[in-house]
């Protein structure tokens, strides 16, 4: 697969889904701790998201890093915009910024679950 094809594939994925997580493994079976943490937060908050397993496709694994100019996976996209990786998503969850981002973009999530995460980590 050519890099232009990979970029087109990514563009299509982030265009067709409100929330996309590029991760190692799947949301049911993450293959690394960082992917597990971000998928866990999204699952716990009840966010409907598409998961893309970069381990299943070497071209995609490199392609997503080139696409976002971000060196690591997982990578979260909301409404076609790159939000960040594990550390950024963790910080945004704890600060409430992720709630705001989801609300502004019309992404449904469980506010009580988000509050519970903050209470447990406060």
Q: Where are the domains of the chain?
A: 3-121
Tell me the CATH class for 3-121: alpha beta
Please state the φ and ψ torsions of residue 57, each to the nearest 5 degrees. -150, 105
1, pLDDT greater than 70: no
Full-prediction pTM beyond 0.85?
Answer: yes
SS3 content of the chain, % helix, strand, coil (to 5): 55, 15, 30
What confidence category does residue 84 fall into, taking pLDDT thresholds of 50, 70 and 90?
very high
Q: Is 86 annotated as a binding residue?
A: no
DSSP assigned state of 26: -
pLDDT at 92: 98
């Amino acid at each position: 697969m050519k890099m232009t094809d990979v970029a087109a594939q990514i563009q299509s994925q982030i265009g067709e889904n409100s929330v996309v997580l590029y991760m190692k493994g799947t949301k049911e079976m993450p293959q690394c701790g960082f992917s597990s943490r971000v998928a866990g937060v999204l699952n716990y908050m009840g966010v409907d998201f598409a998961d893309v397993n970069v381990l299943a496709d070497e071209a995609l694994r490199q392609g997503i890093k080139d696409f976002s100019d971000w060196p690591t996976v997982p990578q979260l996209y909301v409404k076609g915009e790159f939000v960040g990786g594990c550390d950024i998503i963790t910080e945004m969850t704890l600060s409430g910024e992720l709630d705001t981002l989801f609300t502004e973009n019309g992404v449904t999530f469980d506010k009580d679950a988000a509050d519970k995460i903050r209470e447990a980590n406060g």
